[in-house]
Amino acid sequence: MILEFNSAREILLVRIKGEMDMATAGQIRQSIDNRLQQEKIRYLLLDLSGVTFIDSSGIGVILGRYRNLNRTGGKAAIIKPQVVVKRVLETAGLQKLIPICDNEGECLRLLTGANH
Amino acid sequence: MTLHNRMKLEFLGLPENVSFSRVVVATFASQLGFTLDDLEEIKVATSEAVSNAIIHGYQNQPGGVIRLESCLGNDWLEIKIEDDGVGIANIEQAMQPAYTTCSERMGLGFSFMQSFMDEVKVESAVNRGTRIILRKLVKVNNAHSMTEH
């Protein structure tokens, strides 16, 4: 599992590559939380295009980060999950809480209302 | 309900074995006419049942043994996942959507098993362990009988 971070102007983009299950959930959770604590982040973009498998442990990581951000007025969005991953996200009803977008620009427009 | 193939695995309840077990089960299941979507669903359900044994059955303590058995019939798959952990006091409550004892897992485990499999059965005794039985049928238009091979 590989995590890549990019941040600028209250926006944190996290690219996750690999599988999101109970074996990787702890590391993903800790790494994202560290960045959220170190920097003043309002918008969290999770690029799942490189995620090949997700189960409830992985979804728990996404929902947990969303809830923490939401408490402080922040927002989260998911970018381009693979079809198999998107089906699992939708089965969990995640799209009702967190928008799922095709690209980074669309996500930012949705979250911030500005053109990026 | 003729049995055509069967396999058994025994492994330690470690997080790294969750991925291993779901890949083994999906590979075994691929002998039937399941679609790729079906196989992904089987992987998620297996992952949930094995994670449940590690997180709830063995309370994340290493050393517990998980037994997995899978059978293939003409058009059906059965997966049994057993642990010798703490067991579930109230199975009905545990299977409620969003019921959880772990805030980060959101109580989706049994919901996913129920969404992705045709039948989910849970047998448990406190301090003795839990057995989860998952069954999935091959959809009629995908079925290619084992006897036709």
- Break chain A into its structural domains and give their ranges: 2-108
Distance CA A61, CA A56 (A): 9
CB distance B15–A23 less than 8 Å? yes
Nearest to B108 among A21, A22, A92 (CB): A92
Q: Which of residues 93-112 of B touch A (CB under 8 A)?
A: 102-106, 108-109, 111-112
Asked if the model's pLDDT at residue B149 lies above 60, the reply is: no
Domains of chain B, start order? 3-148 (3.30.565.10)
CA A55 to chain B, closest CA, distance in angstroms equals 6
CB distance A84–B116 less than 8 Å? no
Find, in chain A, the residue whose alpha carbon is nearest to that of B15. A23
Which residues of B are known catalytic residues?
48, 52, 105
CB distance B47–A64 less than 8 Å? no
CATH 3.30.750.24 fits A2-108, yes or no: yes
Encode pLDDT of A57-111 as tens digits: 999 999 999 999 999 999 999 999 999 999 999 999 999 999 999 999 999 898 8
**HEC profile of chain A:** CEEEEEEECCEEEEEEEEEECHHHHHHHHHHHHHHHHHCCCCEEEEEEEEEEEECHHHHHHHHHHHHHHHHCCCEEEEECCCHHHHHHHHHCCHHHCCCEECCHHHHHHHHHCCCC
Find, in chain B, the residue whose alpha carbon is nearest to that of A61. B104
Nearest to B18 among A23, A59, A61 (CB): A23
Structure tokens at A85: 């991953």
The band of B148, judged by pLDDT with boundaries at 50, 70 and 90, is: very low
Q: Are B117 and A67 in contact (CB under 8 A)?
A: no
Encode pLDDT of A22-60 as tens digits: 999 999 999 999 999 999 999 999 999 999 999 999 999
With b meaning 16 or more CB within 10 Å and e meaning fewer, what string describes A61-95?
bbbbbbebbeeeebbbbbbbbeebbbbbbebbebe
Find, in chain B, the residue whose alpha carbon is nearest to that of A89. B112
Structure tokens at B8: 């058994």
CB distance B105–A29 less than 8 Å? no
